[in-house]
Amino acid sequence: MSIRAKVFTIIFVLFASLGVADFFVQRFVVYPSFLELEEHEAGQNLQRIFHAIDRENYHLERICRDWATWDDTYDFITTRSEIYKTSNLYDEALDSISVNVMIYCAEDGTIVWSNARDTVQKNALPLELLKEGRIAPGHPLLTMTAEEDGVNGVINTERDPLLFATRRILRSDGSGPSNGFLIVGRFVNPAMVEILSAQTRIPFEIVYPYVEERMACGTSGVTTAHIDNLDYFTKKDGKFVRVCSAYNDPTGRPIFGIQYLFPRDITQKGIASIRYAMVLVISSGLIVLVMLNVLLQAVILRPLQKLTSHASRLRQEEDYAQRLDLRRSDEVGVLADSFDNMVQTIRERTEDLKRANEQLTLLSMRDGLTGIPNRRMFDDSLKQEWRRAMRDKTPVSIIMGDVDFFKNYNDAHGHLQGDQCLIAVAAVLQQQMNRPADLVARFGGEEFAIILADTGADGAGHVAQTLRQAVMDLHLEHGHSDAAPCVTMSFGVASMVPQPEDGDEGMAELLRRADRAMYQSKRLGRNRVVAWSDEQPESPSL
């Protein structure tokens, strides 16, 4: 009998027993607990939504308290000061604190000043509440006892439900008597719902005005639930549980409904994973480990231990020349042979990959058109030379060169001929480099950059003149150049001795100087070399 058959027979008998036990545990213990947990989690999510709305109301209450307990506001109710209006009651002020409605009332409810705005669209909103110019003393916005300094909650409007906070207007030190009321409000609109959904990570929606028949849970087949002081309804709908509740005003009357879909599969998978891990690890783990360790030690465990040790040694030492050489005629022997072949293949592929990576790295450092180093290699080389010069306190020079009137050359001769021109220029620049550390790179477009290590400004200027002449000696015809009848280049030279306090930021300054010197050479007529000086103009005009 093969090893597979032996293992299958043993495991089948053991796990058949485990399967029966697992069924009873899941059916009569875990599943009812899951249903209870599912309902509880649905209620907790709903609580998070209510708390998020309550936080908005609390935020409004804080804003209202800050504005109402203020000497300037206290005086404004009496004086109607225009300075107060222009300094505080402009549209942007409301937008900045995300307040849709702000109302200043006298003690008798007469509206002293009001504004209703859409803070998203930045426009005024008509509001029925403000049309009469007065808020009745019995209105929910002003319903508070003599001992209370304020009230907050939610009311109906013709647009959306309005979260509000009302405070008595007092002096900055909190003293009275009250000089009126300040009311601030924020609409529970789709924009707010979207923000709160993102905060709670629960995509919910509101039903306004509140009608039970319009709620997703409906009126039939629902389950009433309760968590803390919140009553809600649930209704199973396939893979989801519909969760619904009502948000009440300060009198306990429903203003708008809140509903969302609670995905059942997420909780089910979590409970199933816990159940499987607990039952399988505890029950089958003990049984399987004891029995299989006794019955299969000679058949499977020792060969597998040898195979595992070999794999661990390969992982630690990464010596793919080692071979297991386990001579067996069963499946373990076939596995060992396959493992040896795989290790051999890995060794070959690793070597191939190493060579390919070296080629890829080389290609990534070369410009695809000219074959000389590209900007990436230039930056890496400059960083190395900069840090070496910083240690040795030696100068580093940069030469920036630009082909004169190259756009005109392209327009006249075509882009293919333009590419050939760049190839020729790159080749002749490369030929002028006499030291291994010197580097010519294509900086971008028709611009080239040269790094000269341990070279001062005079030496770099001499090299730049040599490069300029070498390009002219190519005698590439250029009938559309104002500098010469052939292709020429303008060069800018800059040199610095890196200081420790410069850090790597000094490289950018060196490049900037070379670039400005190059543009100065173009401004002066092109086909020339200009070295950086402190008198260099900031923005050269061409």
- Distances, alpha carbon 470 to alpha carbons 343, 417, 419, 431, 453, in Å: 55, 19, 18, 9, 21
- Distances, alpha carbon 15 to alpha carbons 2, 83, 295, 345, in Å: 20, 84, 16, 38
pLDDT at 511: 95
Side by side, which strands form the sheet with 230-237?
204-207, 254-263, 240-248, 230-237, 223-227
Q: Among candidates 68, 156, 59, which has minimal Cα distance to 105? A: 68
Rounded distance between C-alpha atoms, residue 42 and residue 54, angstroms: 19
b/e map 40-71, b = 16+ CB within 10 Å: ebbbebbbebbebbeebbebbbebbbebbbbe
Rounded distance between C-alpha atoms, residue 68 and residue 224, angstroms: 42
Helix axes of 285-295 and 3-25: crossing angle, nearest 10 degrees: 160
Q: Is the peptide bond before 209 cis (omega within 30 degrees of 0)?
A: yes
Whether residue 487 contacts residue 371, with contact meaning beta carbons closer than 8 Å, is answered with: no
pLDDT at 40: 84
CA 417 from centre of chain? 45
pLDDT at 346: 75
Per run of 10 residues, the mean pLDDT along the chain (length 542 residues) is 63 71 72 77 90 92 94 93 90 86 93 90 88 89 86 91 94 90 94 92 91 81 85 86 90 90 73 68 68 67 69 68 67 71 75 72 79 92 93 94 94 92 95 91 93 94 96 92 93 94 88 95 94 66 40
Could you give the residue numbers annotated as active site? 446
pLDDT at 462: 95
Number of Cα atoms under 13 Å in the Cβ half of residue 537: 11
pLDDT at 225: 87
pLDDT at 104: 95
pLDDT at 42: 85
Tokens of 166: 């009302």
Q: Among candidates 294, 248, 243, 66, which has minimal Cα distance to 153? A: 248
Whether residue 169 contacts residue 179, with contact meaning beta carbons closer than 8 Å, is answered with: yes
Rounded distance between C-alpha atoms, residue 276 and residue 273, angstroms: 5
Rounded distance between C-alpha atoms, residue 538 and residue 515, angstroms: 11
Rounded distance between C-alpha atoms, residue 356 and residue 334, angstroms: 32
DSSP assignment of 356-392, as one string?
HHHHHHHHHTB-TTT-SB-HHHHHHHHHHHHHHHHHH
pLDDT at 320: 62
Rounded distance between C-alpha atoms, residue 37 and residue 267, angstroms: 9
Rounded distance between C-alpha atoms, residue 300 and residue 295, angstroms: 9
- What pLDDT digit, counting tens, does each position of 300-311 carry? 666 666 767 766
Consecutive H or E run containing 511: helix 505-523
